[in-house]
A and B are shown apart, each in its own frame.
Chain A
Amino acid sequence: MRSGPIISASGVTKTYRSRDVVVEALKNVSFEVTPGEMVAVMGPSGSGKTTLLNCMSGLDAIDSGDVSIAGQLLRTMSDDALSDYRASSMGFVFQAYNLLPVLSAQENVELPLVLAGHSQKVARARAAEKLDLVGLGDRTDHLPAELSGGQQQRVAIARALANDPAIVWADEPTGNLDSTNASEVMDLLVRLNKEHRQTFVLVTHSGAVGAVTDRIVRMSDGEIIDNGTARSGGAADSASGGASASPGAHGDSPGNPDESEN
């Protein structure tokens, strides 16, 4: 596990300009993630968490510094190469689920598989498998609009995991969910991380989420103020997070993902 970092950023700067307002979203950020690690990025609103995720994952371009994923420098990769890399080795989960509204749950999960060049048959089988994994084996034909928020997020997770990516990026994956659904989703992510040894980077406000990760990176005003240490502060975190709802409770819960929602 402690081999070379799978994600490595050094001196990353990102500035947004709109009219005459200049926002320095990332200021000289350096940051590493080891393979199989589950890292939470936390911090107040506007501290640059999402920007960090976008820049690390190649969804957004950086102004200066270097980001490399599995040893490859992002800035040397073309847009097409990056797209291919995303299709084969990365998965994304967003706060707003962002399922494609015109595709059914099954088709949403199939899409990255088809994109990676799998045959329709393989794609269908793998998608069904992933939907089973997140406990939605019986909802494959439903359109996103016909699913609840928690279910939609689980479809999004299934989609993110479809290609067994090396890295899964999750931006506030529980932000739109109630505590029960949130803990179920988090349990699912933790379980997947444990079982498949995939690397997870989560951006979150929630101390409860942070509590179950391997490490917490703290940001403030575009800078990393604490790079965290592995399994260092689950309890301390939940205390400082303060507002979070009973982190211990769902840590102990069986976290049965097959339990359907009301």
Chain B
Amino acid sequence: MEKLFGVEMNVLASVLFGGVVAILLIVLFMALRNRILLKLALRNIPRRKAQTVLIIVGLMLSTTIIMSALAIGDSISSSIRTVVLDVLGETDVRLRSPILARFGDDYLDSSLVERVRGEVAGDSRVDGVMPLIREQLPVLNEATSKTVAATFVVGFDVDSLGGFDGLKNIDGNQADLRSLQDGQTIINRSLSDSLDAGVGDVVTLVAPSGRSQYTVVEIVESKGIAGGDGDTRASALLPVSALQRVLGREGQYNLIEVSIQGGLRVDEQVSEDFAEELQLAFIDGDAAESIFRAFKNPVIVEALQAKLDNGGGASAGPFSSNSLEELVAELEKDSQSDEFKIAVTNTITLAIVAGVIEEIGDPELAQSLLVPMSQLVVLQVDAIKNRGLDLAELVGTEITLIFSIFGSFSIIVGLLLIFLVFVMLAASRMTEMGIIRAVGTKRRHLVQMFTYEGIVYSIGAAALGAVLGIIASVALVQIMAGVISDSDDFRFTYSVTLQSILVAFSLGLVITAVTVVISAYRVSKLNIVVAIRGLGQEFVSDETPGAGRRVKTALRWLGGPLTYAVDTWRLKRSGRGIGLRIVVFLVWVLAVGQGFLSLAASEETTEVPMGAVVGQAIGYWLIIFFWKLFKLVQPWLAAGWPLIPVGLVLALTGMHPEKGIEGLASNNAALWSVGVTLMIIGVGLGMRRILDRRGYREEFQKRVSMTFIGLAMLVFWGLPFTALDGLRGELDGGVEMFLLSGVSLVAAAVWVVMHNAEVIVWLVSKMVGPTGNLRPVVKMAIAYPMAARFRTGLTLAMFSLVIFTLMIFAILSNLGNAIEDEPDLVSGGFDIRAAIDPELPIDDANAVIAASGGELSVSDFTVIASQAKLWVEAREDGAENLTFKGARIIASDGNWLANNNFKLTHWDPEYGSTPAEIWASVATDPTLAVVAGNIVVTDDFGGGPPTEGTTFRMDGIDGDLKGEIERVEITIRPPIGQGGAGNAVRRTVIGVLDQFADVFEFGEADIYMNPGVLDQISNKPVPFDSYKFVVADPSRVGEVTRLLETAFIDHGMTARATEQDIADNQAQNNAFNQLFQGFMGLGLLVGVASLGVVSFRAVVERRQSIGMMRALGFKGRMIQIQFLMESGVVAVLGSILGIGLGTLIGWNIFNSIRADADAVTFVIPWLNVTIIVLVAVVFSLLNTLLPARQASRITPSEALRY
């Protein structure tokens, strides 16, 4: 990958790694100044080797997860990139006829080829120009009667191979393209495999003009000009003259490909610049000039500006970017520039502008633009390889992002684990630390000591974590590759970049080290006396300074570096060493100064590392200041009630402007939720205060108020997503909401449990209590976790969070099975979908089948239906949105209309109340239509309001309000350049198809009609080119599908079994789910590790107690059971919480999806859940077994010695 979170990986890697080196150097410098602390710290490391290993394992998991996410993204990017490079070969830029002309004839004359050659002549960047014909045509091997209905047949110019001759044959030698003769063909590996054809065999090409035979002279790799496309790789190469003859296209081509110097991967900027220059050469200057002048119309500029302000300029990806913003900027100039020309040739931008002009409603203006717009582009120049590589990059980045979001739960758990490890490490050294403090070291020395030790662990952990992350991702990619290996078009291969490794290592090290420092700070707050006595109580907090002092501190730190300087000056007067402080001060002042200077000059800092330093310096100042500010108000906040107004302000700020206070409400779900949560906490703390005044016991106050907070948070965060829409409006929220809600729910649940642990204790002892032998064991197994509630709560939270994430994912990956359960939702009851070459139409399908010979007969089918498709433009009558937008008519014959069993979500009762009645009305009345589900706008998904985009959408039917509709009318017209304006027709929409109906047609806006419409709209006959079959014997669908392709080879039929497609789809989803679940499993590792760490430490800490218990008569086995029970209770309780909360959130997510897609079903995947829980609990227990056995083997006399 080249970018992560919008930052170049190179920059990210160097900044992060540089930061790590800097941190290490600073720490090293400090350590060397006070070596005794370093010695104290480092000597602890080899003292207990097993413990050191355990700590490193605990610390490395975050890095492992980051590394895996990055490596999986890398692998996906690189796998797609491989496909792109395979398919495009040396082609970097592709030229074709402009999109507006393509409705007619997309062939180019050789004069254009010569013009292109002329333009690039002498351009040192170019190493080849190749005119081509590329068509998808049926090819068959009559000897084996195997066919490939949509083979890419490529006619290339033997004399233009310069720059394109990298193709290899399957023996690995250079392919001999130059000596290809008439009557010969070179086929690629994919076609050779499909046809079972080898060198010397004869293959037959089916073209509108008839069949022609070619001898295979060589078989080449499926790459470059023989690479097909991403979907179909089968290709056959012919001399272009031969193909021109067969197609009746003498002297014509349909593609011109340009190769840039530099082999397969060329500099992206070079090819981008080249493509842009070449594009300029093929723009009609006069047309551009008239468009520019027309666009300068203030009404248009204003409308475009408005469009831009509404987010119309957003570009979504390499294949859908638009240049509206540039266009609008260019319109401010007096004359058209090259930038304007480039901007206006972007087809998506052009479509948006056309829509805007239509909305203005000036038919004269629209008319005046028609001609120049259709003449503007002579040749469309496309830097196609760049865009393919960008797509690879985008997909990899997106996947990494998804993995990071889900992985962040595991990372959070990993960080909690680090914290836990260090708190326990400190607890085990309490006495030692107390003594160190007693002899006069400062608190910060303790922090330093722990930091040194922690950094050493962190380095080891980050390195080991990166290695393990690579191993884990290799394993995951292998599994995934195994699942999808059946397709030869896409091979999932492992890849990881050095940048990713550096980023993972550095990021892992930084977050680990930061957590270590925070833990060290927490640990340093020990009470010397408590520590020395070894009472093992949790930590004591600082005494809160008075309000006056807090105000003073906060004000002092407004000064930032100045305050630091003053402190340094004072230190100097007291005669202490200040060298380091002066250095820090100078660096700080310089950095902040530069930061302000560059802010003042409002220059963009181009050098990122320097900018980062400046940012850090100012950031450090701000952090200190805000920290002190927080400290200033913290004691008041802790009292509880002030949280209520603070929360209220936040919640109000988060509300939707429609519901909230204007000017304040900013439509932010996170703010709203955090605000409400703060209010809940405020109320809870207030309750405690009231109970305190009333004189209730402290324990009771705590339990009541904390239980209230926990329960209220559970209710709030567990509500269905739309439950509060009436109150706060529909809010925007991103992935952060997912994280927030997960963490909040788990925290709240653990909160409730830990403050009511007595209930659980009572339950457990009731359950196991009566069995006499275990009673003392149960007593001890409960007493220890209850005595260290902080630790227990933390472990429980970690475990629950892991199970919670796995549970949600298990539920989400099992949604959508409705299609599998009921394939008719998608197929409408038709078993096979087939498409033919429109230029090879079928007169009578039955006759073709009858004539095809033995294997296939008309009686094999119960229904044969046909459809014609026509691209049109449509708009809804009487709706706000009056723009004509792209749509597709699917004109179906009587067989289709009478036999499909698609579901309808809306129907007009005037024409029928069942789908069959509605379809019957469409069959008899050509003025009626049924529209696809995605044309109707719904609340949640469905692609936004009809005014956005270039695709036809309807306002008049409420997608969320299913049922009856009444007289909704639309107008349909042929696209620009096809038929006259008089061909527009009006249709009444009498039904809306279900969301899933016909999804394999991949239509964006399909309108189903009686074929009578075709003659009205189109000037030329529209062939029926889609066929649907219902097979008499369902068990023969697969076989019949293959037979159909052969029988209809003269029509270029490609046939697909819908059930197979559904299964393939499902298999792909499953493969991704498996990859994902494997990745999430890494989180489980963290949870399991946490219990292991806790048990292991417990054994060490409780050595003496164990000895005493043995002396009291506890058997070794009883000790072992006690330890297992302690972990078991946490694991089981964590599983219950995780499953419960995961199901709750899963249910909420399901409901919000179902609002849009009816067919989704909610299934609790019990098998998955059982496996997850079993794995979690069993592994946790296994992980505890070792320490437990160790504990049980401690001889009492030895344990009691210390």
Residue of B nearest to A113 (CB): B776
Select one of B536, B1113, B1198 contacting A86, CB under 8 A: B1113
If over half of B's interface residues share one DSSP class (helix, strand or loop), that class is named, otherwise mixed; here it is: helix
Contact yes or no, A115 B784, CB < 8 A: no
A117 within 8 A of B: yes
CA of A103 to CA of B776, assembled, Å? 12
Contact yes or no, B537 A79, CB < 8 A: no
20 sample A-B contacts, Cβ–Cβ < 8 Å, listed by A number: A51-B1197, A54-B1196, A59-B1200, A60-B1197, A61-B1195, A83-B1116, A84-B1115, A85-B1113, A92-B1111, A92-B1112, A94-B1200, A100-B1105, A101-B535, A101-B536, A102-B783, A107-B779, A112-B1112, A112-B1113, A115-B1112, A117-B773
CA of A103 to CA of B780, assembled, Å? 8
Contact yes or no, A115 B1111, CB < 8 A: no
B787 / chain A contacts, CB cutoff of 8 Å:
101-102
Contact yes or no, A115 B1108, CB < 8 A: no
B861 within 8 A of A: no
| Chain B window 995-1027, contacts with chain A (Cβ cutoff 8 Å), 1 for yes, 0 for no | 000000000000000000000000000000000
B779 / chain A contacts, CB cutoff of 8 Å:
107, 111, 114
CA of A114 to CA of B533, assembled, Å? 29
Knowing A59-B1195, A103-B783 touch, does A98 contact B1116 (C-beta < 8 A)? Answer: no
Knowing A59-B1197, A87-B1113, A88-B1113 touch, does A100 contact B775 (C-beta < 8 A)? Answer: no
B1109 within 8 A of A: yes
If over half of A's interface residues share one DSSP class (helix, strand or loop), that class is named, otherwise mixed; here it is: helix
* 8 A-B pairs closest in CB distance: A87-B1113, A102-B787, A60-B1197, A54-B1197, A86-B1113, A98-B1108, A83-B1115, A59-B1197
B695 / chain A contacts, CB cutoff of 8 Å:
none
CA of A96 to CA of B534, assembled, Å? 12
B772 / chain A contacts, CB cutoff of 8 Å:
117
Contact yes or no, A83 B1105, CB < 8 A: no
B244 within 8 A of A: no
| Chain B window 1107-1133, contacts with chain A (Cβ cutoff 8 Å), 1 for yes, 0 for no | 111111111111000000000000000
Contact yes or no, B1112 A111, CB < 8 A: yes
Distance in Å: Cβ of A103 to nearest Cβ of chain B: 6
Residue of B nearest to A88 (CB): B1113
Distance in Å: Cβ of A175 to nearest Cβ of chain B: 13
Contact yes or no, A79 B1116, CB < 8 A: yes
B691 within 8 A of A: no
CA of A218 to CA of B111, assembled, Å? 120
B786 within 8 A of A: yes
B776 / chain A contacts, CB cutoff of 8 Å:
111, 114-115
CA of A103 to CA of B1108, assembled, Å? 13
Contact yes or no, B1105 A86, CB < 8 A: no
A80 within 8 A of B: yes
CA of A88 to CA of B1115, assembled, Å? 13
Contact yes or no, B1113 A116, CB < 8 A: yes
B535 / chain A contacts, CB cutoff of 8 Å:
101, 145
CA of A98 to CA of B1104, assembled, Å? 7
Knowing A101-B536, A102-B784 touch, does A80 contact B1115 (C-beta < 8 A)? Answer: yes
A107 / chain B contacts, CB cutoff of 8 Å:
779, 783
Select one of A79, A94, A98 contacting B1115, CB under 8 A: A79
CA of A59 to CA of B535, assembled, Å? 26
Q: Which of A73-128 contact B (CB under 8 A)?
A: 79-80, 83-88, 90, 92, 94, 96, 98-103, 107, 111-112, 114-117, 120
CA of A96 to CA of B1108, assembled, Å? 11
| Chain A window 226-240, contacts with chain B (Cβ cutoff 8 Å), 1 for yes, 0 for no | 000000000000000
A90 / chain B contacts, CB cutoff of 8 Å:
1113
Select one of A60, A94, A101, A112 contacting B1195, CB under 8 A: A60
B1197 / chain A contacts, CB cutoff of 8 Å:
51, 54, 59-60
Distance in Å: Cβ of B1189 to nearest Cβ of chain A: 14
Contact yes or no, B1111 A86, CB < 8 A: yes
CA of A101 to CA of B773, assembled, Å? 22
Beyond A87-B1114, A114-B775, list 12 extra A-B contacts (CB 8 Å).
A59-B1111, A59-B1196, A59-B1197, A60-B1196, A80-B1117, A83-B1116, A85-B1113, A86-B1111, A100-B780, A111-B1112, A112-B1112, A120-B775
| Chain B window 500-521, contacts with chain A (Cβ cutoff 8 Å), 1 for yes, 0 for no | 0000000000000000000000
A84 / chain B contacts, CB cutoff of 8 Å:
1113, 1115
CA of A101 to CA of B536, assembled, Å? 9
Distance in Å: Cβ of A183 to nearest Cβ of chain B: 24
Q: Which of B768-798 contact A (CB under 8 A)?
A: 772-773, 775-776, 779-780, 783-784, 786-787
Contact yes or no, B1105 A59, CB < 8 A: no
Distance in Å: Cβ of A63 to nearest Cβ of chain B: 14
Interface centre among A51, A92, A94, A115 (most CB of B within 10 A): A115
Distance in Å: Cβ of A15 to nearest Cβ of chain B: 14
Distance in Å: Cβ of B773 to nearest Cβ of chain A: 8
Select one of B537, B1114, B1118, B1200 contacting A98, CB under 8 A: B1200
Residue of A nearest to B536 (CB): A101
Knowing A60-B1195, A98-B1200, A102-B784 touch, does A83 contact B1104 (C-beta < 8 A)? Answer: no
CA of A80 to CA of B776, assembled, Å? 15
Distance in Å: Cβ of B362 to nearest Cβ of chain A: 84
CA of A90 to CA of B1196, assembled, Å? 14
B1116 / chain A contacts, CB cutoff of 8 Å:
79-80, 83
A54 / chain B contacts, CB cutoff of 8 Å:
1196-1197
Residue of B nearest to A144 (CB): B535
CA of A207 to CA of B661, assembled, Å? 85
CA of A225 to CA of B344, assembled, Å? 110
Contact yes or no, B537 A145, CB < 8 A: yes
Distance in Å: Cβ of B835 to nearest Cβ of chain A: 74
CA of A209 to CA of B1109, assembled, Å? 27
CA of A117 to CA of B775, assembled, Å? 9
CA of A57 to CA of B1112, assembled, Å? 11
A103 / chain B contacts, CB cutoff of 8 Å:
783
| Chain B window 526-540, contacts with chain A (Cβ cutoff 8 Å), 1 for yes, 0 for no | 000000010111000
CA of A79 to CA of B1104, assembled, Å? 19
CA of A101 to CA of B1196, assembled, Å? 17
Contact yes or no, B1113 A100, CB < 8 A: no
Interface centre among B1109, B1113, B1197 (most CB of A within 10 A): B1113
Select one of A83, A85, A96 contacting B1110, CB under 8 A: A83
A98 / chain B contacts, CB cutoff of 8 Å:
1104-1105, 1107-1108, 1111, 1200
Contact yes or no, A100 B1108, CB < 8 A: yes
A120 / chain B contacts, CB cutoff of 8 Å:
775
CA of A100 to CA of B535, assembled, Å? 11
Distance in Å: Cβ of A81 to nearest Cβ of chain B: 9
A79 / chain B contacts, CB cutoff of 8 Å:
1115-1116
Interface centre among A83, A90, A92, A103 (most CB of B within 10 A): A83
Residue of B nearest to A171 (CB): B1200
CA of A61 to CA of B1110, assembled, Å? 14
CA of A89 to CA of B536, assembled, Å? 32
Distance in Å: Cβ of A186 to nearest Cβ of chain B: 21
Distance in Å: Cβ of A113 to nearest Cβ of chain B: 9
Knowing A59-B1200, A111-B779, A145-B535 touch, does A102 contact B786 (C-beta < 8 A)? Answer: yes
B537 / chain A contacts, CB cutoff of 8 Å:
145
Residue of B nearest to A60 (CB): B1197
Contact yes or no, B1114 A115, CB < 8 A: yes
B1110 / chain A contacts, CB cutoff of 8 Å:
59, 83
B1196 / chain A contacts, CB cutoff of 8 Å:
54, 59-60
CA of A115 to CA of B775, assembled, Å? 8
A115 / chain B contacts, CB cutoff of 8 Å:
776, 1112-1114
CA of A79 to CA of B772, assembled, Å? 20
| Chain B window 1085-1118, contacts with chain A (Cβ cutoff 8 Å), 1 for yes, 0 for no | 0000000000000000000110111111111111
A101 / chain B contacts, CB cutoff of 8 Å:
535-536, 787, 1105
CA of A57 to CA of B1110, assembled, Å? 12
B1111 / chain A contacts, CB cutoff of 8 Å:
57, 59, 86, 92, 98
B1115 / chain A contacts, CB cutoff of 8 Å:
79-80, 83-84
